[in-house]
Amino acid sequence: MPSPITHFEVVGSDAAALQRFYGEAFGWQMQDVMNGAYYMAFPGTGINGGVGAAQNGDGGHVTFYVEVEDLDATLEKIASLGGRTVQEPMDIPDGPTIAMFADPEGHLIGLVKAA
């Protein structure tokens, strides 16, 4: 079975401005889930996402999350293909388990463990 894209994320230095921009530009319903630092974005059709503040000095990025059965095995395969793990698997409170990697050119991609 292919691994579907299940989430997108836009993060940057001014979370409030990004949240307002995407909500107004596309009419997305936005729901605060982290005291202003991160909003869930609900486009109405397609996949849901998040818009929020960049972490740990990251200037910001746009990424998507791919659903996989086994995060560790997928990260090993990615490493064998020239990618690198950026964030080891971690449990999101009341949410899924995620990880992040960089492809051979440094693009940041997320992984989410299939439920």
Domains of the chain: 5-113 (3.10.180.10)
Report helix, strand and coil shares of the chain as percent, to nearest 5: 20, 45, 35
Query: What span, in angstroms and rounded, lies between the C-alpha atoms of 85 and 2?
Result: 21
Q: Are 16 and 36 in contact (CB under 8 A)?
A: yes
What integer pLDDT is reported at residue 56 of this predicted model?
Answer: 79
**Residue 1 pLDDT > 70:** no
40-89: pLDDT as tens digits: 999 999 999 999 999 877 788 899 999 999 999 999 999 999 999 999 99
The residues, ordered by sequence, that sit 6+ positions from 15 with a Cβ below 8 Å of its Cβ are 36, 37, 38, 39, 51, 52, 53
What percent of the chain lies above the pLDDT cut of 90? Answer: 83
Rounded CA separation 95/112 (Å) = 10
**Average predicted confidence (pLDDT) for the chain:** 93
**Among 78, 80, 81, which Cα is nearest to 109's?**
78
The pTM (predicted TM-score) of the whole model is 0.84
Largest alpha-carbon pair distance within the chain? 42
